[in-house]
Amino acid sequence: MNDASIEVSGLRKRFGPTQALDGMTFSVAAGTVTGFVGPNGAGKSTTIRVLLGLDYQDEGHALVCGQRYAALKYPLRRVGALVEAAALQPSRTGRNHLLWLARSQRLPTDRVKEVIDLVGLDSAARRRAGGYSLGMRQRLGIAAAMLGDPEVLILDEPFNGMDPEGIIWIRGFLRSLAARGRAVLVSSHLMGELQGIADQVVVVGRGRVLADATVDELVARAGSDRVLLRSPTPSEAAAVLQRAGARATVTDRGTVIVGGITAQRVVEVLSPAGVAFSEVTAQRASLEDVYLQLTGGATQYRAGTQVQP
Ligand SMILES: Nc1ncnc2c1ncn2[C@@H]1O[C@H](COP(=O)(O)OP(=O)(O)OP(=O)(O)O)[C@@H](O)[C@H]1O
């Protein structure tokens, strides 16, 4: 395995009655962005905290750059992390916070100006960090993570509190890091945030990996590509398609959802049977659909209701 990487294997961790990690296993290669996604309580933060030596596993191992974080000689030069945007001294300016960090880690203070520019905090860097919005604090946290120009970046929910411009920025930023050979692990509880930036997606639930695949593989694995059909005689259309071996369901809006055959095949079946139709549209399963399928049984908490295990 390449040196600039993350390797998590068989991690188990219990907090009292809660099995937070239950055999968590995955790796992140250099030059890639890996999305780490799962519902609240799935074990993402605990995994990241163990990787960074902020918490200890009961079993398994968690390595960064081939070593335990605690064994790294110059950790900030090897691994940059964003774990808690709020960990700030509010009376300090953003710039002073970074200067203090750089000095305390024996990193060159010239780097402070570079990382401020890198994250677009130039205009706010001399203001007290206590007055920063959550999005600005996230940028400051990312600037801090970048101080040592590390090989590995681990970001826990960096999109939280970001406005649309910030989200676009962070997406481009993470891609550019991967293009420069960095290994990037980015957690999120929203799959959509990772579409278009993650090379690999590790979907987790209840402390273990539910899927570890590329975005395309995940969507294909779900096998839920569908065809939407509009016909003045939906029941007849559905019956003809079912006789041809397709799955066809008439919705309460009078459309027909067809599965198991392509849009072109739908046309080929309906036309000779004399069934009229006004629309035949191929619908690709979205990453969000796949995520919901994968994590449906692993969701611990949903808005307003607690789902029993
Ligand atoms: N210090 C702790 N003490 C007790 N239980 C904990 C502690 N830290 C985490 N847990 C529990 O472990 C489980 C995993 O939590 P974790 O924060 O790792 O999940 P997560 O995937 O990061 O979720 P979120 O998106 O909500 O941050 C949860 O059930 C959580 O309540």
- What DSSP letter does each residue of 1-58 carry, written as one string? --SS-EEEEEEEEEETTEEEEEEEEEEE-TTEEEEEE-STTSSHHHHHHHHTTSS--S
For ligand 1, say whether the CB of 57 is within 6 Å of any of its atoms.
no
Residue with tokens 């990772």: 194
pTM value?
0.80
Residue 4 pLDDT: 45
Residue 288 pLDDT: 75
The atom number, within ligand 1, closest to the CA of 55 reads 1
Mean pLDDT per 10-residue section of the chain, whose length is 309 residues: 75 95 96 92 94 95 94 90 75 91 88 93 87 88 93 93 88 94 91 85 93 84 78 96 93 88 93 95 78 69 37
Residue nearest to atom 2 of ligand 1 (CA): 15
Residue 254 pLDDT: 87
Residue 195 pLDDT: 79
Q: What's the CATH class of domain 6-220?
A: alpha beta
Residue 123 pLDDT: 87
Element (H, E) at 229: strand 226-230
Q: What's the CATH class of domain 226-283?
A: alpha beta
Residue 296 pLDDT: 72
For ligand 1, say whether the CB of 205 is within 6 Å of any of its atoms.
no
Residue with tokens 């962005």: 33
Q: In CATH terms, are 6-220 and 226-283 the same topology? A: no
**Cα–Cα distance, 188 to 231 (Å, whole number):** 40
Are the C-beta atoms of residues 89 and 129 closer than 8 Å to each other?
A: yes
Residue 299 pLDDT: 56
Q: How do the domains of the chain map onto residue ranges? A: 6-220, 226-283
Residue nearest to atom 3 of ligand 1 (CA): 15
